[in-house]
Copies of this chain bind each other. A is one copy, B any other.
Amino acid sequence: MSSKDHLKEAMVDISTDVEKLLNRLIPDVSGDEKQLFDAMRYVVFAGGKRLRPFLVVASSEMFGVDRSVAMRTAAAIECVHSYSLVHDDLPAMDDDELRRGKLTAHLEFDEATAILAGDGLQTLAFEILADEASHPDPRVRLELIRTLAQASGVHGMVGGQMIDLVAENKTLDLSGITRLQQMKTGALICYSAEAGAILGKADRHRRHLLYGYAKDLGLAFQIADDLLDHEGDATAMGKATGKDTERGKATFVAHLGPERARQQARILADQAIEHLQEFGEKAALLNSLAHYVIDRQN
């Protein structure tokens, strides 16, 4: 089997497993809370590549962590990622109508429900990680929680989203765009890879290598995303394309032009792989992923 096929198979496996777990963690309930749970399920089960769960599991397995243990951290991160999507899509934010080919949650339900579903998903992420089943060592669970909060809070994802909104009215230079993306999407991607090192109680050096890998991977992923938005076909993407350009949003493609952006993504993917050299064959899946993110079509 080629490394590409092997990657695809692993991605499907991990995606299936994390969805099974999320289905248990966010049950289909009856009663007055039904609308809230339905909206959370709608957001979480809207499909998606499950890139972050893949990073958690693939990095965990490099350190011999049991997949069923790693899967809980993967589910927690997917809750945070989903909460950020549902809030980003709100009329007051990006005002998007489609997400992965389906109506965004505030249109399928209503705005209030979408806000609450996002709020509840964030809370659930921390509840999942605090539970003993997420790792037997309490210090590991606390490190998972502390690092997730840092990656997703005001110095990470939420801060990046704020900068993105403010940036609509001003011009960011390349380092400004890089910082924005590193906070808005990069920090959670870095955390996903670091989580494997945390779960596996890896030393600081190895944890840092995974962080470096994911930092380059995340930027490559973002550039590829900008390219798809720029050139893309709304049907394949499952959302409106060209919107970033239309809004004058600070993207890599707008700044570098498509050709140099494509080149930059390739350099970043190669750099990502270099971080993992000392892991040898154990890093095979993560290496394949770096190639995949710049070649994907949606």
Give A residues with C-beta under 8 Å from B. Answer: 32-33, 35-37, 40, 83, 87, 90, 92-93, 106, 110-113, 115-116, 118-120, 122-124, 126-127, 130-131, 138-139, 141-142, 145-146, 149-150, 152-154, 158-159, 161-163, 165-167, 176, 180
Which 6 residue pairs spanning A and B have beta carbons closest together? Answer: A92-B111, A127-B149, A123-B153, A130-B146, A36-B162, A138-B138
Distance in angstroms between the alpha carbons of A142 and B127 in the assembled complex: 10
| Contact yes or no, A131 B146, CB < 8 A | yes
A158 in contact with B92 given A142-B141, A146-B127 (CB within 8 Å): no
Residues of chain B with a CB closer than 8 A to A35's CB: 162, 166
- Please, which residue of chain B has its CB at the minimum distance from the CB of A170? B32
| Contact yes or no, B113 A126, CB < 8 A | no
Distance in angstroms between the alpha carbons of A266 and B127 in the assembled complex: 35
Oligomer copy total:
2
Name which of A111, A119, A153 has the most chain B CB atoms within 10 A of its CB: A119
Residues of chain B with a CB closer than 8 A to A138's CB: 138-139, 142
Q: Which of B90, B116, B145 contacts A130 (CB 8 A)?
A: B145
- Please, which residue of chain B has its CB at the minimum distance from the CB of A31? B163
| Contact yes or no, A149 B161, CB < 8 A | no
Distance in angstroms between the alpha carbons of A106 and B123 in the assembled complex: 22
Distance in angstroms between the alpha carbons of A41 and B138 in the assembled complex: 32
| Contact yes or no, A158 B32, CB < 8 A | no
- CB of A119, distance to nearest CB on chain B (Å): 5
| Contact yes or no, A112 B130, CB < 8 A | no
- CB of A152, distance to nearest CB on chain B (Å): 6
| Contact yes or no, B36 A158, CB < 8 A | yes
Residues of chain B with a CB closer than 8 A to A161's CB: 116
Residues of chain B with a CB closer than 8 A to A37's CB: 154
| Contact yes or no, A32 B166, CB < 8 A | yes
